[in-house]
Amino acid sequence: MEKIGDSQEMKSNKDYIKWGLTAFFVVLGGFVSYYVIFHIDSLSSTIKNLFSILMPIIDGFILAYLLAPLVNATERIITTPFFVMIKKEDKKNPKRFLSILITDLLVLWAIYVFFSIVIPQIANSIRTILEQFPSYINTFGLWIANLLNDNPEFQKSVMDFIYQSSTDFTTVINSEILPQLNSLNNVTEMLSQFSGLINVITSVSMSVYSIFKEIWNLVIGFIISIYLLSSKELFAAQAKKMVYAFCSVNRANRFISNVRFAHKTFGGFFVGKILDSIIIGIICFAVTSILGTPFCVLISVIIGVTNIIPFFGPFLGAIPSTLLILFIDPLQALYFVILVIILQQVDGNIIGPKILGSSTGLSSFWVIFSITLFGGIWGIMGMVVGVPIFAILFAFMKSLIETRLSAKNLSPETKKYLRLLYIDVGSSEYVEFAENAKKPFGDITQILVKGHEKLKIKQDNATDQDPKDENK
């Protein structure tokens, strides 16, 4: 009896403890909610400052995540065969360090080529376009005038609109855009000279200072990414150990599986899309150079960069590029449109599937939905990363729905619900609509056929009538 009493007392004490902890967390949640609601400005400022402090670390993680596939490929293709060839396969060989070094040198070389060759050509192309814009408008206006020569009133309206718009845009170019472009060019020239670096730093504005701060964060992040890449397996193992320490084995397994899926979906799509866009940009540059398309470097960069955005990207890049070429040479604009159509077909049917595969598994509707949603939230960056993020959320929701259906002994297959009327509670039988069920408005095809047959019968009867009867 004493043991029974002791057990009841222990149970009662556990209940008290449970209720006490529940009350404590409820009160704590109330205080936290009050603070969040009435101190949202200070809280957001604190979070913003924290992110600003941790930005080099965040940049390092992002760079390491983006460079990891290149490091793995370099290690698999170059460094591992090299150390096998020299017969040095001990664990202490600098294989990983050499892979990171080769990858970083290639990336830095690509950045140098881009900023030393591509950027100046793009800047010169933009400056030429802005300076020659009035003459381009005149040429385009003459072409439009000849095209609308048969309709003078509409011609006058269109020409007035073109010249008024060009006048306003020319004013903006001369007063705002060109001075900023020239000042930017001066800053670039000063930065290329080490002797004038101090003068540049002392004379920059706060906006330029922020640019230097971002560059500094990227430099620190680049160094951090080297440490992360050199021990990425160790960091992954420590993260797994932490998950298993604080979660049950089943939940930890499920969490790690979800993270692995998210990494495969997001990383595969993002890295693959960048590689796909680079290839499309190079092909566009090669073909436009052969065709003699004006401003081929600028246009190829626009096509390549906008191609990162799924679905809408090709249109975002092709439309302004076509209009730009149209001002200079309408025939070249036609060639460019044909080229873009061919490029998109090649990308959609050959290059894209080879690189990306089925990394998202989303239908066209959900791709458009995700781009619209995340583009509205995060702008251009949201349009780029929206598809893989939504694909991850979609997969998690699909898994949750299928798990809950399986727990209820219901089928997770979508096709079982196509003609579903209801599910019988007792037998869990899927009752479908009958094949000959009466439709709300009937079969429109049958109605039209029957109406046509009746009309034909009346016409035949009228034809077969006796002429004497008609005279009567």
pLDDT at 99 over 60: yes
| Pick from 289-303, 403-417, 453-467: least confident | 453-467
Confidence at residue 338, expressed as pLDDT on a 0 to 100 scale: 92
| Pick from 60-74, 168-182, 313-327: least confident | 168-182
Confidence at residue 377, expressed as pLDDT on a 0 to 100 scale: 84
pLDDT at 281 over 80: yes
pLDDT at 203 over 50: no
Q: How far apart are CA 199 and CA 191, in angstroms?
A: 10
Query: Cα 89 to the chain's mean position, in Å?
Result: 41
- What the block records as the tokens of 312 is 């809408």
Mean residue pLDDT across the chain: 76
Q: What angle do CA 206, 211, 215 make, to 5 degrees?
A: 145
pLDDT: is 243 or 42 the higher one?
Answer: 243
351-358 contacts at long range (C-beta below 8 A, 24 or more positions apart):
351/276, 351/279, 351/280, 352/276, 355/272, 355/275, 355/276, 355/279, 356/268, 356/269, 356/272, 356/273, 356/276, 357/268, 357/272
Specify the amino acid at residue 272: G
Confidence at residue 428, expressed as pLDDT on a 0 to 100 scale: 75
- Spatial contact of 321 and 295, defined as CB atoms under 8 Å apart: no
pLDDT at 228 over 70: yes
Q: How far apart are CA 331 and CA 143, in angstroms?
A: 11
pLDDT at 468 over 70: no
Percent of the chain residues topping a pLDDT of 70: 74
- Spatial contact of 67 and 225, defined as CB atoms under 8 Å apart: yes
The arithmetic mean of pLDDT across residues 384-401, rounded, is 85
Encode pLDDT of 348-361 as tens digits: 778 777 776 655 66
Indicate if the alpha-carbon torsion angle 200, 206, 210, 213 is positive or negative.
Answer: positive
Domain boundaries, the chain: 60-230, 248-412
Residue 240's pLDDT band (cuts 50, 70, 90): very high
- Spatial contact of 141 and 163, defined as CB atoms under 8 Å apart: yes
Confidence at residue 10, expressed as pLDDT on a 0 to 100 scale: 58
pLDDT: is 245 or 136 the higher one?
Answer: 245
Most confident among 218-232, 371-385, 446-460 (mean pLDDT): 218-232
| Pick from 106-110, 249-253, 467-471: least confident | 467-471
Q: How far apart are CA 218 and CA 224, in angstroms?
A: 10
Confidence at residue 241, expressed as pLDDT on a 0 to 100 scale: 92
| Pick from 85-94, 244-253, 310-319, 341-350: least confident | 85-94
Confidence at residue 194, expressed as pLDDT on a 0 to 100 scale: 42
The arithmetic mean of pLDDT across residues 290-313, rounded, is 86
Q: How far apart are CA 122 and CA 307, in angstroms?
A: 18
| pTM for this prediction | 0.63
Q: For residue 57, what are the contacts with CB-CB under 8 A and spacing of at least 6? A: 221, 224
pLDDT at 55 over 80: yes
| Pick from 163-177, 306-320, 330-344: least confident | 163-177
